[in-house]
């Protein structure tokens, strides 16, 4: 069983990324052949600075390694180092529907947030994402809830490819956690916590100091009631319940039961304490790992060599099936 996922080096990663995606990456190493990459080519679809991007790749890499990705047990690399992703993106454009791309809610949200250029790359983003996954013939893609629509699109592209050019690609499945798949912004609990689109006070960063985490959680927006239970009119409290459930590895019902009689103040404090304990070891390891850039670079280069070996085979099959380039005997 092969697992693939990518994470953007845009800004600092947050609690939503950690709960929704990163913990699943770590667990995936025990469940199958896991392949993960830092998707620098996706980060260029919004306004960015080249020097900042290069640094942010190291920040994200160190965060993932601190969280428990082990280069001995997974393939870990930087997307831009494996050029096959870009070529496959273009080849897959032949089997990607414009109408479907046009319905992607992430594009609509992010396009609306751009101050000047809305790049074509932002629109084409899901095709590159499809290439990322399909290049490795991955069976499973661990992601948060917001990526469901993109996974559907890549499944459609793979099915269309196989129907049109012959059985070549694996149609992947999304793996979305049951609790914590959509952590909301603490200040705007109708929006997902986001690296690029959230409020600073409403976004708990993996690397935040304990004091900062406590402050953000204690000042999170809640309703005017006092009951610790989930409900459509209780977005803020529902979010905190999900966070505590995910961090403790229990169900939201258990959290509701435990804090039945507690007020919001005590509940928020308990969430803050749990999140602080949860992230502290990651932050400590991060600083050690981040200090050694040559080592991070070495790890990602070694990973890229392994990734390339898989992706070049897929690319050769795709080109052959599509009639691109000369006929070459298989193998
Ligand atoms: P942006 O909002 O700019 O897209 P991001 O915060 O979504 O940034 P990504 O690198 O795009 O960060 O996402 C990495 C992974 O984290 C993806 O699998 C995504 O589904 C997951 N994820 C992102 N935000 C959340 C969230 N609020 N709750 C749970 N999972 C999330
Ligand atoms: Mg995202």
pLDDT digits (tens, 9 = 90+) for 17-64: 999 999 999 999 999 999 999 999 999 999 999 999 999 999 999 999
Give the residue from 135, 167, 176 showing the smallest Cα distance to 154.
135
Is the per-residue pLDDT at 12 higher than 90? no
Is the per-residue pLDDT at 105 higher than 80? yes
Pocket test for ligand 1, best of 13, 146, 188 (most atoms within 8 A of CB): 146
The atom of ligand 1 lying closest to the CA of 185 is 27
Residue nearest to atom 2 of ligand 1 (CA): 194
Dist. CA 170 → ligand 2 center (Å)? 23
pLDDT digits (tens, 9 = 90+) for 143-164: 999 999 999 999 999 999 999 9
Dist. CA 294 → ligand 1 center (Å)? 27
Q: Are 64 and 34 in contact (CB under 8 A)?
A: no
pTM: 0.96
CB of 20 sitting under 6 A from ligand 1: yes
Q: What is the bridge-based pairing of β-strands 33-38 and 173-175?
A: unpaired
Look at residue 327 in the predicted model and tell me its pLDDT. 82
Residue nearest to atom 19 of ligand 1 (CA): 144
Rounded Cα gap, residues 213 and 205, in angstroms: 8
Q: What is the dihedral of CA 73, 308, 55, 116, to 10 degrees?
A: -130
Residue nearest to atom 3 of ligand 1 (CA): 196
- pLDDT-based confidence at residue 197 (cuts at 50, 70, 90): confident
How much is the average pLDDT of 161-185?
97
Dist. CA 299 → ligand 1 center (Å)? 24
What is the phi/psi pair of residue 214, to 5°? -60, -45
Is the per-residue pLDDT at 329 higher than 80? no
The proportion of the chain whose per-residue pLDDT surpasses 70, expressed as a percent, equals 99
Is the per-residue pLDDT at 81 higher than 90? yes
CB of 151 sitting under 6 A from ligand 1: no
- pLDDT-based confidence at residue 196 (cuts at 50, 70, 90): confident
Look at residue 331 in the predicted model and tell me its pLDDT. 57
Dist. CA 237 → ligand 1 center (Å)? 21
């Amino acid at each position: 069983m092969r697992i693939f996922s990518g994470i953007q080096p845009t800004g600092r990663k947050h609690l939503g990324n950690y709960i929704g995606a990163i913990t699943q990456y770590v667990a995936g190493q025990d469940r199958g052949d896991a392949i993960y990459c830092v998707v620098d080519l996706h980060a260029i679809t919004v306004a960015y600075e080249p020097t900042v991007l290069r640094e942010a790749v190291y920040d994200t890499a160190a965060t993932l390694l601190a969280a428990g990705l082990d280069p001995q047990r997974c393939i870990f690399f930087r997307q831009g180092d494996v050029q096959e992703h870009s070529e496959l993106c273009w080849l897959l454009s032949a089997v990607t529907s414009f109408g479907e791309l046009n319905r992607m809610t992430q594009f609509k949200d992010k396009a609306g947030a751009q101050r000047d250029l809305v790049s074509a790359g932002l629109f084409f983003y899901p095709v590159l994402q499809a290439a990322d996954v399909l290049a490795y013939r991955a069976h499973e893609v661990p992601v948060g809830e917001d990526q469901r629509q993109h996974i559907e699109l890549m499944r459609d592209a793979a099915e269309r490819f196989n129907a049109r050019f012959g059985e070549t690609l694996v149609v992947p499945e999304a793996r979305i956690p049951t609790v914590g798949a959509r952590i909301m912004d603490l200040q705007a609990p109708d929006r997902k916590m986001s690296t690029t689109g959230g409020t600073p006070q409403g976004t708990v960063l993996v690397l935040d100091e304990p004091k900062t985490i406590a402050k953000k959680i204690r000042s999170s927006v809640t309703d005017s009631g006092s009951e610790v239970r989930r409900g459509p009119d209780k977005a803020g409290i529902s979010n905190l319940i999900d966070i505590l459930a995910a961090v403790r590895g229990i169900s939201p019902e258990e959290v509701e039961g435990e804090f039945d009689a507690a007020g919001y103040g005590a509940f928020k404090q308990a969430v803050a304490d749990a999140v602080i304990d949860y992230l502290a070891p990651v932050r400590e390891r991060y600083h050690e790992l981040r200090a050694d850039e040559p080592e991070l670079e070495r790890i990602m280069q070694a990973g890229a060599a392994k990734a390339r070996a898989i992706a070049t085979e897929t690319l050769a099959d795709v080109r052959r099936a599509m009639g691109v380039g000369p006929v070459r005997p298989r193998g």
